[in-house]
Structure 1
Amino acid sequence: MSAVRKRTPDDDASDVRRRTVEELEKQHQTLTLHDFVRIVEAHHSDDGGGVERDLLAAHAAAVYFGVDVSEIDDRLAPSDEWTDADEFYELDDDRVSAYPPKWHEVVSDTDDLLDLIELVQAGTDEPAGKGPEAVAKQGVNQELVLRVAETVADIDRDEARQRLNELRRAGEIEQYPD
């Protein structure tokens, strides 16, 4: 099994990172609030699990389009289990995440994508959601795996995609048609 390279923090050490703002603005036409939180969280994954509410507000103020971060509280998941790709999860220290606390606890220190896939699969045993993070009867959507790898496990997205391809070639995972 090959090692997966961890992502490195932006070279801008300020709280609002230039690369984060650039990515948010590049995607602004199709960006949902969940995407906004996930992207900020991924760019700050070196700060620990989830992202501070103040940091989300600072990024919302830094982009040229409107983002209402107050909606996050209205969309907090009622439990610590994965429920819907449009909900958020409360973590310790007034941090929120696009993903459940258990996922952070289990995969934040791993580079094993098979473990990550099994965790997500176990937490998403029923078909749910729509869009890139939907869960189908056959298993977990690749985009969800890539996003969790990037955001929670702090694994470079391209490295995660390459590792998924290696797992498929080795017969350790299957890919179903979308």
Structure 2
Amino acid sequence: MPELNEHVLEEAGDRGRTLLVSDLVGLIERYERSDRPGVAPDRVVTYAEGLAADGAQIDPDSVPSAVEERRTESSSWDDNDALYTVDDGRVSTYPERWHESLRGESDVRRYLEVILDDVGDSADAFDVGGAGRGVPRSLLLSATAVLGELNPTEAKAQIQALRDEGVLAEDADQHPNARVAFADQQR
């Protein structure tokens, strides 16, 4: 079996029966850096086999059909559980458009611009996060880690600095996964 990333195995194993195939793809994208966008579907199966060998309750034989059920050819955001076809059959938790626009980007403002432009009405685009407009904080942090060069600590620091400058705002409802938006566009 090819070498597997321990962070992926640990986090996926901790999720147990609640682990979705889209979660596994997201973990692989985040921790297994590649010069190509997304993950090869057979690599997802390899991780499922590794998890099963470690005692996780996962059926590696069901992974290919689970990938196909969630796969979309859309180049724009569809929903949180979708797997987007990117780069000749690979799958990603983010659409091709985001990969093309944000690969290697290190400015959080650019992520917000691209994501908000892609989803249109952000109040209804995401099924996670607090109410209102903007990008759920967890999605923004994950996107900066997968698509760009920022680790979550750096992205959080940028968000805080831009909030302090009045450029960004977060939901006033103090939701643990608040929506991040440009201050002049939040409401």
- For residues 76 and 54 of structure 1, what CA distance do their matches in structure 2 show? 14
Q: Quick one: which amino acid aligns to residue 31 of structure 2?
A: H
Please list every run of 5 or more consecutive structure 1 residues that lacks an aligned counterpart in the other structure.
1-13
1:50 to 2:38 alignment: yes
1:150 to 2:145 alignment: yes
**Cα deviations across residues 73-98 of structure 1 (Å, max 9, x unaligned)?**
11122421101111110011321000
Find the counterpart in structure 2 of residue 97 from structure 1.
92
TM-score norm. by structure 2 comes to: 0.79
- For residues 109 and 129 of structure 1, what CA distance do their matches in structure 2 show? 24
Find the counterpart in structure 1 of residue 157 from structure 2.
162
**Cα deviations across residues 89-139 of structure 1 (Å, max 9, x unaligned)?**
00113210000001111111210111011111111223134235x8x5421
Written as runs of structure 1 = structure 2, the 5 A alignment for 1:56-67 is 56-63=44-51, 64-67=56-59
Q: Quick one: which amino acid aligns to residue 40 of structure 1?
A: I
Please list every run of 5 or more consecutive structure 2 residues that lacks an aligned counterpart in the other structure.
176-187
Say which structure, 1 or 2, has more relative contact order (CA 8 Å, 6+ apart): 1
- For residues 61 and 92 of structure 1, what CA distance do their matches in structure 2 show? 24
| SS of residue matched to 1:27 | helix
**Structure 1 residue 31 displacement after superposition:** 2.3
Number of residue pairs aligned between Structure 1 and Structure 2: 163
Q: Percent identity?
A: 26
TM-score norm. by structure 1 comes to: 0.83
Find the counterpart in structure 2 of residue 36 from structure 1.
24
Greater mean deviation of Cα atoms: 103-112 or 47-56 = 47-56
- For residues 173 and 102 of structure 1, what CA distance do their matches in structure 2 show? 23
- For residues 164 and 50 of structure 2, what CA distance do their matches in structure 1 show? 43
Q: Is the 8 A contact 1:15 1:55 kept in 2?
A: no
1:111 to 2:103 alignment: no
Structure (1/2) with the larger helix percentage: 2
Q: Is the 8 A contact 2:85 2:91 kept in 1?
A: yes
**Structure 1 residue 33 displacement after superposition:** 2.1
Q: Quick one: which amino acid aligns to residue 66 of structure 1?
A: I
1:138 to 2:133 alignment: yes
Q: Is the 8 A contact 2:36 2:87 kept in 1?
A: no
Q: Is the 8 A contact 2:128 2:136 kept in 1?
A: no
**Cα deviations across residues 2-34 of structure 1 (Å, max 9, x unaligned)?**
xxxxxxxxxxxx541122111211222432222
- For residues 157 and 166 of structure 2, what CA distance do their matches in structure 1 show? 14
Root-mean-square deviation (CA, aligned residues, Å) is: 1.9
| SS of residue matched to 2:143 | helix
Q: Is the 8 A contact 2:48 2:58 kept in 1?
A: yes
**Structure 1 residue 60 displacement after superposition:** 0.7
Q: Quick one: which amino acid aligns to residue 174 of structure 1?
A: A
